[in-house]
Chains A and B, each alone.
Chain A
Amino acid sequence: MKSKFIFVIIIFSFLVSRFPSPIFSQHFTSDSYIIDWGNFNITSGRKTSVNYRLTDTVGQNAPGLSEGDNLKIKAGFQYIYDLSRVISFTIDKLNIDFGTLIPGIGVTDTNLLTVTTPSGRGYQIMAQENHPLWINPSNFIPNTSCDSGNCTSTLSAPWITSDKYGFGYNVTGIGATAYFPDSTYFRPFADFSKNESSVVIASEPSPVKDRQAIVTYRVLISPLQGAGDYENYITYTLVPRY
């Protein structure tokens, strides 16, 4: 009886090995790697006609995300276009305190802005002050006009001397180079109290993840500046590129 059972098992194993089911696999090679996939899509891609565009994947055994220690498999159409829809904005601190200002000595402080944008979209960061640094509207620190008196809320210029008084800012980072060529370039904030609209201080056309921009505020007062608490606030606006 036992020998009959073993015989049947051997015959069955033989038959199974003779009639294998088809397996779809892929073989990829490069100078450094050889990748053999046990299973991959039978077909996938973009199909277009005059009126429609269709993207598809067919044949994956287990659609979905599979993760191991050193690998991540994204099977199925939903993983081809791994679209993130979230836009996020981070500012490291909201209070900027210049401390006690000394005439003729520029004081700086910084803000770190961090941006993440969704797939396919860039960003623009805009900034605006509610009013100049002031105790009251008649007692204020002027917005900077930079060393040559030519910088405006939309145009930056060098500001390194210690006898051009005012309040201004510089931005460094990949997205800011079009607006501030280097860290010596400053400009005043767009002034809401003068009906000036927010202006772009950093932007990029492509998606970014945790892109950082450093805003450096600089204030330099004259010996004639009256004592007191000078305050304003800056509003930063982040929007995606459409």
Chain B
Amino acid sequence: MAAFNLSLDPAQIEINLKPNAVFTQAYNLTNNSTGTLLLSSSVSAWLPSDNQGGVVYTDNIDSPLIFSLSNTDLKLGEDFILRAGQKKQLVLKIINPSVENKDYYLTFFISQKPFTQVQNGHQNLAKIGSHLLITTGQQSSSLSNFNVSKLNISPIIKDIFIPLTISGEITNEGQHYSHINGKLTIYKNKEIISEQALFPYTVIPTNSRLLHCVNSASEAVPCRLKIPIWPGKYQAIVTLNGNAAKYEYPLSFFVFPYTLTIFILFLFFLLTFVLKRK
């Protein structure tokens, strides 16, 4: 059994707060450890660090939002005890006193604290966080403004027996975070060969996410065209819906039976060689 085993639900919320709006979110915290944990809660601001959803924390929360806990027995930042196997619900209350039209990216942290008050304590500690993506302002919903770049189909040699991977990057050129809503369609002779929904990643303004498709388990997977692929000319189109303008990004490629041709040529030369020797 583990010394520290904590779970937090939900792991992320995305909300729209109008001026003077009050929002509450219940977080379920479960201590699955063998022992009692001394914990506290806090909110920290982050910035995106890459195109795969990574974050980097900033020193200060530059936001007018007011955070508190609605729990009667607990304030934000106050220590509390969670015994082994115990569950606790923390209700985070967020007030938006501002009229500003802006996005805030934060994490609601539950931090373990050492039981000892000794400054030179040596007990390792753990924190677990849940992201808050908050848009403030009058606008209740806004259209996204995505742009697709670095569209590529690999490998360079497109053979009938080699699966093709379609990659790319989707950049949010709007003012607010938004979800990718689109599809990848592969055409051959104007007929749809494959149609895959794009994974609805959240994209932060001026940042990008890699283009991925949704599999049957609703998880993100690389967009692939399965083998065997019939020879010929194909067109791949990435369509983004819900954008300020409807965008389609076409990409053409040609599939040729290279391996089959090489194999036949090899057989032909082998046969010619054998017959010549006879």
A95 part of interface (Cβ distance < 8 Å) = yes
The segment from B51-59, B168-176, B264-272 found at the interface with A is B51-59
Whether B55 lies near A85 (C-beta < 8 A) is no
Q: How far is the CA of A74 from the CA of B136 in the complex (A)?
A: 38
Count A-B pairs with CB separation below 8 Å. Answer: 155
Contacts of B130 in A (CB 8 A): 87, 239-240
- CB-contact partner of B52 in A82, A111, A241, under 8 A: A241
B85 part of interface (Cβ distance < 8 Å) = no
Of the four ranges (under 10, 10 to 19, 20 to 34, 35 or more), the interface on chain B belongs to 35 or more
Contacts of B54 in A (CB 8 A): 124, 200, 203, 241
B7 part of interface (Cβ distance < 8 Å) = yes
- CB-contact partner of A198 in B30, B57, B242, under 8 A: B57
The segment from A22-30, A48-56, A58-66, A141-149 found at the interface with B is A48-56
Interface SS majority for chain B = strand
Cβ distance B14 to chain A, nearest Cβ, rounded Å: 9
Number of interface residues of A (CB under 8 A): 51
Contacts of B55 in A (CB 8 A): 124, 239, 241-242
- CB-contact partner of A95 in B12, B122, B199, B241, under 8 A: B122
Contacts of B5 in A (CB 8 A): 88-91
Q: How far is the CA of A118 from the CA of B8 in the complex (A)?
A: 10
A119 part of interface (Cβ distance < 8 Å) = yes
Cβ distance A110 to chain B, nearest Cβ, rounded Å: 12
Given A92-B2, A95-B123, A242-B133; A53-B8 close (CB under 8 Å): no
Q: Who on chain A is nearest to B13 by CB?
A: A85
Q: Which residues in window 67-124 of B have CB below 8 A to A?
A: 105, 107, 109, 111, 114, 120-124
Contact with B along A226-239 (1 / 0, CB 8 A): 00000111111111
Known: A96-B122, A121-B11. 6 other contacts (CB 8 A): A46-B197, A89-B7, A90-B2, A203-B54, A206-B220, A240-B11
- Please report A residues at the B interface, Cβ cutoff 8 Å: 46, 48, 50-51, 53, 80-83, 85-96, 111, 114, 116-122, 124, 134, 197-198, 200, 203, 205-207, 231-242
